[in-house]
Structure 1
């Protein structure tokens, strides 16, 4: 799989790795009082999952109705902030960053503190919601 990546894909992978490596150090310094956020993290996780899951496909569908062309996201494509229609590439990259960073936080806190880090679940669900929303948007584009 790595042999199919171009320079842009490898740079994106290095950025994701650096952010995950940085979140290891943040996770180590998390206080021991992490259990009191359990009831809030479920509600925030639900909102963080549902909002991008619905928002991205709706925006893409409305944009395509008004004639805007959206670029199909790929790991090897460059992120162009000012190019209209390239927003799905940015959402995909952001989804991967949020997903892997939250997985690292949950695993590191679970290993070091022997507790479940409930504040990492909203990020986990937000990253998953972003990626599923981008996938749904690409199915809308392909129709």
Structure 2
């Protein structure tokens, strides 16, 4: 996101920085708000894990639900931020010379299975919300 913010301050279209256009500002604001919300979700989950291991305060399955929420939300948000930033940068945004291209490939690995595919995270969350008797593969 920082790379994109620097770029939209410098890149000019119609005689002014593209960061002055509302369409770009709206995307940036939405992405930033979601990033901060996701960051707090991760902080809360880390706090729960600390309490679980130090004090035995939380049920392991409750903690796993929160971990799965992080694993579900963070890659989707990261993908969207990469997508917006790459679009702001135009053709350069998806070339190998741009560091965003490699970052996007890294994010895609979470879609297809690193740390458990996204649908697995959804199953874990739903299992914790509905109960073990609602696991779809039983």
Structure with the higher helix share, 1 or 2: 2
Larger radius of gyration between Structure 1 and Structure 2:
2
TM over 0.5: no
The TM-score by the shorter chain falls in which range? 0.3 to 0.5
TM-score by length of 2: 0.39
Relative contact order, higher structure (CA 8 A, sep 6+): 1
